[in-house]
Amino acid sequence: MSEIKLTHYSHGAGCGCKIAPAVLDKILHSDFKSVAFPSLLVGNESKDDAAVYELDNGTCIISTTDFFMPIVDDAKTFGKIASVNAISDVYAMGGSPLMALAILGWPIDKLPAELAQSVLDGAREVCAEANIPLAGGHSIDSPEPIFGLAVTGTVAKENLKRNNTAKPGNLLYLTKPIGVGIITTAQKRGLALTDDVAHAVKSMTQLNTVGAEISKYRFVTAMTDVTGFGLLGHLLEVCEGSHVSAEISYASVPLIENLNYYTSKMIYPDNTMRNWQSYDTKVQGIGAESLLTLCDPQTSGGLLICVEAMAKQEFERTMKTLGFSLSPIGKLVEPTADVVVRIV
């Protein structure tokens, strides 16, 4: 069954399947007067990575779900990437996962059930690595293959990290290079080099466990993971939620190896332009290459971490002990009326 290419059975790929931010805003808009739930600490209003509900003992429950269509051709790898991506939302809130449920849509008349079994095996491997059970799930017969997880996690209230609590002067760090959307698009078109695909897969299958490990530090003021809206889209959510602006040093943004080979050929996912059209009026200083990379929809991307400037050395030392050699990609500044993110 290795000759079956899963990406040929889906119109989208990974988090590139996401509905564009501007369209999603229209879908989520409602005049319905919702009931207030005091224990719901994080809900829809902040566009955060997961919902968070406070229990009576100072512990919070984190609940999230994420699923998408194949971003790679190998079924087991697809299951692993989708699972790492879904669990990441818990780590982005500073929490630790407890268990997961599988979400599977499969075109039974087009693809053998054995391939779906391989997808689930990929999920089982990731859940075992995260030390959580894949405790059940739900499946449907669907026109295209779909897979993901619903994940439950926990976090101590004092360690909860949100995407709307950043402050002016904070430094910005990113734990994974960007560009996997470009590489996987090239793969789907038969234009990707083998080593480049391997680098992208390695990045997408790396758990963001570091989010739980650094949540105890007060100098980490806010955190989110970078996925389908691209680095710019998720940074804008941080800025707008926190009422700040940002300056990004494009030369400091980590890019996946050999990305220029593809951007020079103008290879990029369709969602790149949909992302850009959703927030182009809020960004200044974008260039031809930086548009393709900073708006590139990431699947299972890294953590975008906001850190107090006075803690720069301590944070970087801490991250180095955890296996990350990081430097700032930019900083947050006082809000400006004309632009939210400036690229320099």
Give the pLDDT band of residue 23 (cuts 50, 70, 90): confident
Residue 144 pLDDT exceeds 50? yes
Same domain as 199, residue 337? yes
pLDDT for res 15: 46
Same domain as 229, residue 150? no
Q: What is the rounded average pLDDT of the residues 7-17?
A: 64
Same domain as 284, residue 196? yes
AA identity, residue 306: C
In the sheet with 341-343, reading across from the earlier edge strand, the strands are: 220-225, 303-307, 171-174, 330-333, 245-248, 341-343, 283-284
pLDDT digits (tens, 9 = 90+) for 267-305: 999 889 999 998 999 999 999 999 999 999 999 999 999
> Among 159, 180, 209, where does a domain finish?
159
CA distance 344 to 145: 41
Q: At what angle do helices 180-188 and 194-204 cross, to 10 degrees?
A: 130
Identify whether 239 is a catalytic site residue: no
Same domain as 177, residue 117? no
Task: Name the nearest CA neighbour of 41 among 93, 1, 78, 82.
Answer: 93
Give the pLDDT band of residue 19 (cuts 50, 70, 90): low
Same domain as 59, residue 23? yes
Total-model pTM? 0.94
Task: Name the nearest CA neighbour of 21 among 164, 281, 234.
Answer: 234
Give the pLDDT band of residue 153 (cuts 50, 70, 90): very high
The CATH number linked to 83 is 3.30.1330.10
The burial of 58, by beta-carbon neighbours within 10 Å (0-12 exposed, 13-18 middle, 19 or more buried), is given as exposed
pLDDT for res 315: 98
Same domain as 80, residue 28? yes
Q: What is the mean pLDDT of the chain?
A: 92
The CATH number linked to 314 is 3.90.650.10
Number of domains in the chain: 2
CA distance 250 to 185: 22
Same domain as 121, residue 179? no
Same domain as 77, residue 194? no
Same domain as 176, residue 100? no
> Among 109, 138, 159, where does a domain finish?
159
Look at 37-46, 106-115, 199-208, 320-329 and tell me which has the smallest mean pLDDT: 37-46
Residue 14 pLDDT exceeds 60? no
What region does 162 belong to: left with phi over 0, alpha with psi -120 to 50, or beta? Answer: beta
In a domain, 165, yes or no: no
Active-site choice (15, 60, 127, 306): 15
Residue 29 pLDDT exceeds 80? no
> Among 100, 124, 159, where does a domain finish?
159
Same domain as 233, residue 200? yes
Same domain as 329, residue 238? yes
In a domain, 79, yes or no: yes
Residue 1 pLDDT exceeds 70? no
Query: How many Å from the N-terminal Cα to the C-terminal Cα in the chain?
Result: 48
Fill in the DSSP letter of residue 31.
Answer: -
Same domain as 78, residue 191? no
In a domain, 164, yes or no: no
In a domain, 18, yes or no: yes
Residue 311 pLDDT exceeds 70? yes
In a domain, 1, yes or no: no
Q: What is the rounded average pLDDT of the residues 162-179?
A: 97
pLDDT digits (tens, 9 = 90+) for 110-125: 999 999 999 999 999 9
Domain span at residue 98 reads: 6-159
CA distance 342 to 344: 6
